[in-house]
Amino acid sequence: MRRLPAIALLFAATSLGADVGQLQKSFEKPPDDARIMMRWWWYGSSVTKPQLERELKLMKAGGIGGVEVQPTYPLVADDVKLGIKNLPFLSDEFLDALRFASGKAKELGLRFDLTLGSGCPLAARRCRSPRPPASCAATGFAPMARAAASWCPISAPARS
C-alpha cells in the first residue's frame, strides 16, 4: 500500500518536470493568440497607408500579437506643408484607413480591434466650462451646444 503513493509521487514529479519545460518554451516563443495587444492611438486619425503598414510590421517584428485602434482628437491642425491631414471620424477616408489596417493586420497574423472612443472629455458631465479646449477650435471641431457644456479641463492634483 505504501508503494502506491511513492510511485504516484515519482510519476507526478516526472510529468511535472516535462510540463515545466514545455511551459518555459511557450514563454520563450508564445503562440500568436497569447501575445499582448497594444492600444494604437490614432490622433486625429492623421494616418497614411505606408505609415500604417510600417507600424504594423514593426509591432509584429517586436513580438506584439495585435492592436486595438483608438481614434481620438487631433494633436495639430491640418498642415499641407507638413503633410498632416486629419481624417474626419467615420468619413470614407477614415473607414478606408481602418479597412487597410485591418487587412494588413490579418495578413501579418495580428489580431485587430477597434474602440469607438474613450468617453473623455464628454463623460465628465458634472464639470462645466464655458467653452471647449482651444485645440478644438484650431482643428475646426465644433461640438454640439449641449456637449460643449460638459468639457472639463483635467488638472493635476495639488502637491503637498
Given this model, what pLDDT does residue 120 score? 53
Provide the CA 101 distance to its chain's centre, in angstroms: 13
Given this model, what pLDDT does residue 123 score? 40
Among 7-11, 30-34, 122-126, the range of highest mean pLDDT: 30-34
What are the chain's domains? 29-118 (3.30.750), 120-153 (no CATH)
User: If pLDDT is split at 50, 70 and 90, which confidence band does 73 have?
Assistant: confident
The 3-state DSSP class for residue 100 equals helix
Positive or negative CA dihedral for 88, 89, 95, 101?
positive
Q: What's the rounded mean pLDDT across residues 47-72?
A: 95
pLDDT top residue among 140 and 81: 81
pLDDT top residue among 81 and 119: 81
Given this model, what pLDDT does residue 14 score? 56
Who's near 128: CB < 8 A, 6+ residues apart? 149, 150, 152
Given this model, what pLDDT does residue 122 score? 45
By percentage, how much of the chain surpasses pLDDT 90?
Answer: 36
Given this model, what pLDDT does residue 13 score? 53
Who's near 111: CB < 8 A, 6+ residues apart? 32, 33, 37, 65, 66, 67, 105
d(CA 84, CA 40): 18
pLDDT in tens, 84-110: 899 988 899 999 999 999 999 999 999
**Judging by beta carbons within 10 Å of its beta carbon (0-12, 13-18, 19+), is residue 97 exposed, middle or buried?**
buried
Phi/psi region, residue 42 (left: phi>0; alpha: psi -120 to 50; beta: rest), is beta
Given this model, what pLDDT does residue 9 score? 52
pLDDT in tens, 130-157: 444 544 444 444 444 344 434 444 444 5
Q: What's the rounded mean pLDDT across residues 112-128?
A: 60
d(CA 113, CA 31): 18
Question: Does position 50 have pLDDT exceeding 70, yes or no?
Answer: yes
Partner residues linked to 68 by β-bridges: 39, 113
